[in-house]
Structure 1
């Protein structure tokens, strides 16, 4: 199962042509750890690239970063943004209602903030978060105590604003209608089918519970999507558990135009996964990823979300980077291993570290091996 997941995640076998193709393939890529999400995209490309190239795609609007699926940031392809928001945004808003009340953000305040943002960003303006805070203050809306963050998230979920190009290293916001090309509306059944099919095609084999966690949809809606997908999805029983994946030869989007590579074609590798990589965060049940020596627990499964080091798709340790602000200074990568690696595995680890260093455009020093 892990070999097949590695292939479907494009961590083994064929990579994808461009950053937006990676995001389209998955449907959405979790991205609150922005630099980590860039690396998540970079290591799934067919041709080695750099962080600067992925950033250029983001700044050009080929990737949009916003709140969707769950109450956290994701990268989404522009053409998928509106229908995914329409499908998942209302559930996030409902889940956020108690926090809105705690912060004193009643419906009229949220609606007023939307109008303020719309006026401030109109005409192609891109404002940073501090600039949006100033705009709210001038409109006599207090942005303190996380009120700004929740007003911005609310406006994202309502389909008003999304990420704009960066200004230096600061993020900006833009109006969706000015940043994202128009798209035809997608009805609910088509949206559920598309999202569920996209998930099982890119993440399978996976369970209904996994898909519900990732998508933010109720399990009943996931089952509805499976039924609507028909022959596009395939049921499997592994260790007496029901899993779903795309049927052989199924193509999720026109952009990918390729099947997930067969498991037999994958190359053995060590992967330095970023925090919240789709390979770990997209599953409610992460037990198959745990190292054999790790007791099964919720804590252990949660730990997989923090820069895991994976060998053949299974957890073998953690890694962290130290990056000097001097652009010519070496990148320091420290690994902490749960087992002693064989010589070939150590070489695979070195290759993985070198690939990450090349992505950042730095020389590298590896410690801990």
Structure 2
């Protein structure tokens, strides 16, 4: 059994998460390595997802992340929560095996409204695969034309629900990029090799990888992140908790890797760090309880009105302290921060860190 301990300072959670999420100096060596380490990265907003990877891979440019998607060494699909994520290709099928059935049940009423029966799904599958296997990956609009011509209407969200269902069941998958859209490919052609662990083994691996890449986090955080049933998650956790370290913080159990936990003795980095993170970044979004890094009174400034759209965040020493935006284009482009505390003045070290972070982002966009 791994050691456990207690931490009184909630602010330490954010700094430990910076380390787990490869946001400190020891970022990943490559784009595929980073995505595999993170297990899954929210990616409904493609430009945000590209930077979420880039900020964690020292020296990476936007072309490197796009190339990884184009080559299939990173895939972007709907592995959980009905939301696009970046994942390693060999992981997608077993993730879908864990999550697809529950999501399908949750949207059954919507499918009835859209008049989507299983026979319609099978017909759409045959239409899609006939077209793609003959002509290669197709755009979403092109695929919808195939559906419409084959007697499967796509208006009123019916098309996207058909596409999502075919992707969840492992027949189709978003493939190479075409601008900021993706062409739709046949799953078995785009991902020729998949791992297929059993359900209990898969949930255990999912949890260990989540806590190693997102910890400190709670079991409830993981259940929300994957939308797996909490009772099943708790049962499976009993078999893997020995690979992790427990931190008790005000009576709540947080779990993380032994390697990151050891920094509590040797020194946790990031005390003077400043990061410019994209909207929807896992550092903020990847937990059901975000209060350890985001004060509740500022939550509405990150997700205005609870509309589900996460703004870009300024993170200082593991805490969200503001938002930021890119203003201008080309050589006149500049990062403009907006801090929650407008009276707060940045000291010389913090201003230098902000300048470095902004330069890193602009360099990423240009390479």
Q: Could you tell me which residue of structure 2 aligns to residue 26 of structure 1?
A: 38
Deviations 1:122-174 (A, max 9, x none): 15711001100110111011111111111111111011111111234432010
CA contact (8 A) 2:66 2:177 kept: no
Q: 1:22 and 1:261 mapped to 2: Cα distance?
A: 26
CA deviations over 1:59-105 (Å, ceiling 9, x no partner): 11111111112111001101101111111111111112122122221
Conserved? CA contact 1:272–1:309, under 8 Å: yes
Give structure 1 stretches of 5+ with no counterpart. Answer: 251-258, 363-369
Over aligned residue pairs, what C-alpha RMSD do you find?
2.3
2:105 is paired with a residue whose SS is helix
SS in 2 for 1:244: strand
Note if contact 2:69-2:176 (Cα within 8 Å) is conserved in structure 1.
Answer: yes
Distance in 1 between residues matched to 2:110 and 2:89, nearest whole Å: 29
C-alpha change, 1:42 and 1:123, in structure 2 (3 Å) is: same
Question: How many Å separate the matches in 2 of 1:143 and 1:262?
Answer: 57
1:201 aligns with 2:212: yes
TM-score, normalising length: structure 1: 0.88
Candidates 276, 290, 300, aligned match of 1:272: 276
Match of 2:231 in 1: 220
- Asked if 2 retains the 8 angstrom alpha-carbon contact of 1:321 and 1:333, the reply is yes
Partner Cα separation in structure 2 for residue 98 and residue 263 of structure 1: 52
Q: Is the 8 A contact 2:77 2:174 kept in 1?
A: yes
SS of 1:143's equivalent?
A: coil
Corresponding position of 2:187: 176
- Structure 1 match to 2:335: 333
The counterpart of 1:345, out of the listed 350, 353, 365, is 350
Which residue is equivalent to 1:256?
none
In structure 2, do the counterparts of structure 1 residues 65 and 205 end up closer, same or farther at CA, with 3 Å as the change threshold? Answer: same
- The number of aligned residues is 347
Which stretches of structure 1, 4 residues or longer, exceed 6 Å deviation after superposition?
A: 259-262
Structure 1 residues 3-22: aligned runs within 5 Å: 3-22=15-34
User: Which residue does the alignment assign to 2:8?
Assistant: none
Answer yes or no: is the 8 Å Cα contact 2:271–2:317 preserved in 1.
no
- The 1:248–1:168 alpha-carbon spacing in structure 2 relative to 1, beyond 3 Å, is closer
Specify the alignment match of 1:73 in structure 2: 84
Q: Which residue among 166, 169, 184 is the counterpart of 2:177?
A: 166
Q: Distance in 1 between matches of 2:265 and 2:128?
A: 45
Assess, with a 3 A threshold, how the Cα gap between structure 1 residues 127 and 263 changes in structure 2: closer, same or farther: farther
CA distance in 2, matches of 1:302, 1:197: 29
- In 2 relative to 1, CA 193–14 (structure 1 residues): closer, same or farther, beyond 3 Å? same
> Aligned-pair distance for 1:296?
7.0
- 289, 296, 320: which is aligned to 2:293? 289
- Report which structure shows greater RCO (CA 8 Å, sep ≥6): 2
Q: Tell me how far 1:323 sits from its aligned partner.
A: 5.5
Q: C-alpha separation between the residues in 2 aligned to 1:210 and 1:184?
A: 25
Q: Is the 8 A contact 1:7 1:262 kept in 2?
A: no
Higher mean C-alpha deviation, range 24-33 or range 221-230: 221-230
2:364 is aligned with 1:359 = yes
In structure 2, the CA distance between the partners of 1:198 and 1:55, relative to structure 1 (3 Å rule), is same
Instruction: Give me the TM-score of the superposition, normalised by structure 2.
Output: 0.88
